[in-house]
Amino acid sequence: MIIGKPFLTTEHIHEKVVELADKISQDYMGKEILAVGILKGSFMFFADLIRALKTPVTLDFIIASSYLKTTSTGEIKIHYDIREDIAGKHVLLIDDIIDTGISLNYIRERILSKGPASLKICILLDKKERRVVDVPVDYIGFEVPNKFVVGYGLDYDNNYRNLPYIAIFKKET
Protein backbone atom coordinates (compact mmCIF):
# COMPACT_ATOMS: atom_id res chain seq x y z
CA MET A 1 0.00 0.00 0.00
CA ILE A 2 1.29 3.39 -0.91
CA ILE A 3 0.62 6.60 0.96
CA GLY A 4 1.53 9.52 -1.23
CA LYS A 5 2.92 12.83 -0.05
CA PRO A 6 0.43 15.09 1.73
CA PHE A 7 -2.42 16.19 -0.47
CA LEU A 8 -3.57 18.54 2.28
CA THR A 9 -0.86 19.41 4.78
CA THR A 10 -1.32 19.83 8.52
CA GLU A 11 -0.93 23.62 8.12
CA HIS A 12 -3.42 23.74 5.28
CA ILE A 13 -5.98 21.80 7.31
CA HIS A 14 -5.40 23.93 10.40
CA GLU A 15 -5.98 27.17 8.48
CA LYS A 16 -9.23 25.80 7.08
CA VAL A 17 -10.44 24.59 10.48
CA VAL A 18 -9.90 28.07 11.97
CA GLU A 19 -11.69 29.67 9.00
CA LEU A 20 -14.67 27.31 9.39
CA ALA A 21 -14.79 27.80 13.18
CA ASP A 22 -14.80 31.60 12.80
CA LYS A 23 -17.69 31.44 10.35
CA ILE A 24 -19.65 29.03 12.58
CA SER A 25 -18.98 31.15 15.70
CA GLN A 26 -20.37 34.20 13.91
CA ASP A 27 -23.44 32.38 12.64
CA TYR A 28 -24.28 30.95 16.07
CA MET A 29 -23.55 34.07 18.11
CA GLY A 30 -25.71 34.05 21.28
CA LYS A 31 -26.69 30.40 20.79
CA GLU A 32 -25.41 27.14 22.24
CA ILE A 33 -24.33 24.45 19.80
CA LEU A 34 -24.91 20.73 20.25
CA ALA A 35 -22.00 19.42 18.17
CA VAL A 36 -22.58 15.87 16.94
CA GLY A 37 -19.60 14.05 15.44
CA ILE A 38 -20.03 11.09 13.15
CA LEU A 39 -17.44 8.51 14.22
CA LYS A 40 -14.99 7.28 13.64
CA GLY A 41 -13.85 9.39 10.68
CA SER A 42 -14.61 12.81 12.14
CA PHE A 43 -12.80 12.47 15.47
CA MET A 44 -9.75 14.57 14.63
CA PHE A 45 -11.60 17.24 12.68
CA PHE A 46 -14.29 17.34 15.39
CA ALA A 47 -11.75 17.86 18.18
CA ASP A 48 -9.90 20.60 16.31
CA LEU A 49 -13.06 22.37 15.16
CA ILE A 50 -14.83 22.53 18.52
CA ARG A 51 -11.63 23.79 20.18
CA ALA A 52 -11.60 26.71 17.76
CA LEU A 53 -15.27 27.65 18.31
CA LYS A 54 -16.04 30.73 20.37
CA THR A 55 -19.64 29.75 21.14
CA PRO A 56 -20.73 27.51 24.05
CA VAL A 57 -20.76 23.85 22.98
CA THR A 58 -22.16 20.59 24.28
CA LEU A 59 -21.34 17.46 22.34
CA ASP A 60 -22.28 13.95 21.44
CA PHE A 61 -21.46 11.35 18.79
CA ILE A 62 -23.03 8.90 16.43
CA ILE A 63 -21.10 5.82 15.41
CA ALA A 64 -22.16 4.78 11.95
CA SER A 65 -20.59 2.71 9.24
CA SER A 66 -21.34 2.40 5.57
CA TYR A 67 -18.07 1.38 4.08
CA LEU A 68 -16.28 -1.92 3.48
CA LYS A 69 -12.73 -1.17 2.38
CA THR A 70 -13.04 1.39 -0.42
CA THR A 71 -16.46 0.44 -1.78
CA SER A 72 -19.65 1.96 -0.42
CA THR A 73 -22.15 -0.70 0.60
CA GLY A 74 -24.95 1.84 0.54
CA GLU A 75 -26.07 0.32 3.84
CA ILE A 76 -25.83 2.27 7.07
CA LYS A 77 -25.47 0.72 10.48
CA ILE A 78 -25.84 2.79 13.65
CA HIS A 79 -23.61 1.29 16.35
CA TYR A 80 -24.01 4.12 18.88
CA ASP A 81 -26.76 6.73 18.81
CA ILE A 82 -26.92 10.25 20.29
CA ARG A 83 -27.75 10.14 24.00
CA GLU A 84 -28.35 13.89 24.41
CA ASP A 85 -31.90 15.19 24.07
CA ILE A 86 -31.97 16.83 20.62
CA ALA A 87 -35.38 18.52 20.88
CA GLY A 88 -35.03 22.30 20.83
CA LYS A 89 -31.22 22.21 20.39
CA HIS A 90 -29.11 23.84 17.70
CA VAL A 91 -27.47 20.76 16.28
CA LEU A 92 -24.27 21.00 14.24
CA LEU A 93 -23.52 17.70 12.56
CA ILE A 94 -19.80 17.22 11.85
CA ASP A 95 -18.24 14.67 9.52
CA ASP A 96 -14.95 14.03 7.75
CA ILE A 97 -16.10 13.54 4.17
CA ILE A 98 -19.23 13.46 2.06
CA ASP A 99 -19.07 10.98 -0.77
CA THR A 100 -22.36 9.49 -2.07
CA GLY A 101 -24.21 11.37 0.68
CA ILE A 102 -26.16 8.24 1.60
CA SER A 103 -24.98 7.98 5.20
CA LEU A 104 -25.18 11.69 5.89
CA ASN A 105 -28.68 11.88 4.45
CA TYR A 106 -29.79 8.98 6.64
CA ILE A 107 -28.31 10.55 9.78
CA ARG A 108 -29.68 13.99 8.91
CA GLU A 109 -33.24 12.67 8.61
CA ARG A 110 -32.87 10.70 11.82
CA ILE A 111 -31.87 13.88 13.70
CA LEU A 112 -34.58 16.01 12.06
CA SER A 113 -37.22 13.52 13.20
CA LYS A 114 -36.26 14.32 16.82
CA GLY A 115 -37.22 18.00 16.53
CA PRO A 116 -34.03 20.10 16.88
CA ALA A 117 -34.39 23.91 16.94
CA SER A 118 -32.04 23.90 13.93
CA LEU A 119 -29.71 21.54 12.10
CA LYS A 120 -26.61 22.51 10.16
CA ILE A 121 -23.93 20.31 8.66
CA CYS A 122 -20.17 20.87 8.58
CA ILE A 123 -17.97 18.60 6.47
CA LEU A 124 -14.21 18.81 5.97
CA LEU A 125 -14.01 17.17 2.54
CA ASP A 126 -16.52 17.14 -0.30
CA LYS A 127 -16.13 14.47 -3.00
CA LYS A 128 -18.77 16.15 -5.14
CA GLU A 129 -18.40 13.94 -8.22
CA ARG A 130 -19.62 10.89 -6.33
CA ARG A 131 -22.85 12.38 -4.95
CA VAL A 132 -25.94 10.16 -5.24
CA VAL A 133 -28.19 11.87 -2.68
CA ASP A 134 -28.41 15.65 -2.52
CA VAL A 135 -27.72 16.69 1.09
CA PRO A 136 -27.66 20.37 2.11
CA VAL A 137 -24.21 21.02 3.58
CA ASP A 138 -23.73 24.41 5.27
CA TYR A 139 -19.97 24.43 5.84
CA ILE A 140 -17.43 22.71 3.59
CA GLY A 141 -13.66 22.68 4.05
CA PHE A 142 -12.25 21.46 0.74
CA GLU A 143 -13.57 19.96 -2.45
CA VAL A 144 -11.58 16.82 -3.31
CA PRO A 145 -11.29 14.77 -6.52
CA ASN A 146 -12.75 11.29 -6.86
CA LYS A 147 -9.78 9.57 -5.21
CA PHE A 148 -9.63 7.60 -1.97
CA VAL A 149 -8.05 9.71 0.76
CA VAL A 150 -6.68 8.75 4.18
CA GLY A 151 -5.32 10.51 7.26
CA TYR A 152 -6.59 13.11 9.73
CA GLY A 153 -9.27 10.63 10.87
CA LEU A 154 -9.98 9.08 7.48
CA ASP A 155 -9.12 5.42 7.10
CA TYR A 156 -8.52 2.53 4.80
CA ASP A 157 -9.69 -0.56 6.67
CA ASN A 158 -9.28 1.36 9.96
CA ASN A 159 -5.63 2.23 9.19
CA TYR A 160 -3.92 5.61 8.70
CA ARG A 161 -6.45 7.58 10.80
CA ASN A 162 -3.57 8.98 12.90
CA LEU A 163 -1.72 10.67 10.02
CA PRO A 164 -1.63 14.41 10.81
CA TYR A 165 -2.25 15.24 7.13
CA ILE A 166 -4.47 13.95 4.32
CA ALA A 167 -2.98 11.82 1.53
CA ILE A 168 -4.26 10.05 -1.55
CA PHE A 169 -4.26 6.31 -1.02
CA LYS A 170 -3.08 3.91 -3.69
CA LYS A 171 -3.10 0.14 -3.63
CA GLU A 172 0.17 -1.42 -4.71
CA THR A 173 -0.19 -3.21 -8.04
Binding residues (CB under 6 A) for ligand IMP: these are 41, 66-67, 72, 95-104, 127, 148-150, 154-155
119 binds, among ligand IMP, Mg ion, none (CB under 5 to 8 A by kind): none
Q: How many residues bind Mg ion (CB under 5 A)?
A: 1
Residue among 138, 59, 143, 68 nearest 103 (CA): 68
Cβ count near 53 (within 10 Å): 17
Helices (H) and strands (E) in the chain, counts: 3, 9
> For residues 14 and 8, is the Cβ–Cβ distance under 8 A?
no
Q: How far apart are CA 102 and CA 14, in angstroms?
A: 27
The smaller minimum CB distance to ligand IMP, of residues 58 and 159, is found at 159
Q: Does 81 participate in catalysis according to the annotation?
A: no
CA distances from 164 to 44, 128, 149, 150 (A): 9, 23, 13, 10
Q: How far is the CB of 56 from ligand IMP (least distance, A)?
A: 27
37 is an interface residue for Mg ion by CB under 5 A: no
Q: How far is the CB of 38 from Mg ion (least distance, A)?
A: 5
Q: How far is the CB of 30 from ligand IMP (least distance, A)?
A: 31
Catalytic residue among 48, 96, 99, 155: 99
Contact pick of 41, 116, 151, 153 for Mg ion (by CB under 5 A): 41
Residues designated catalytic? 99
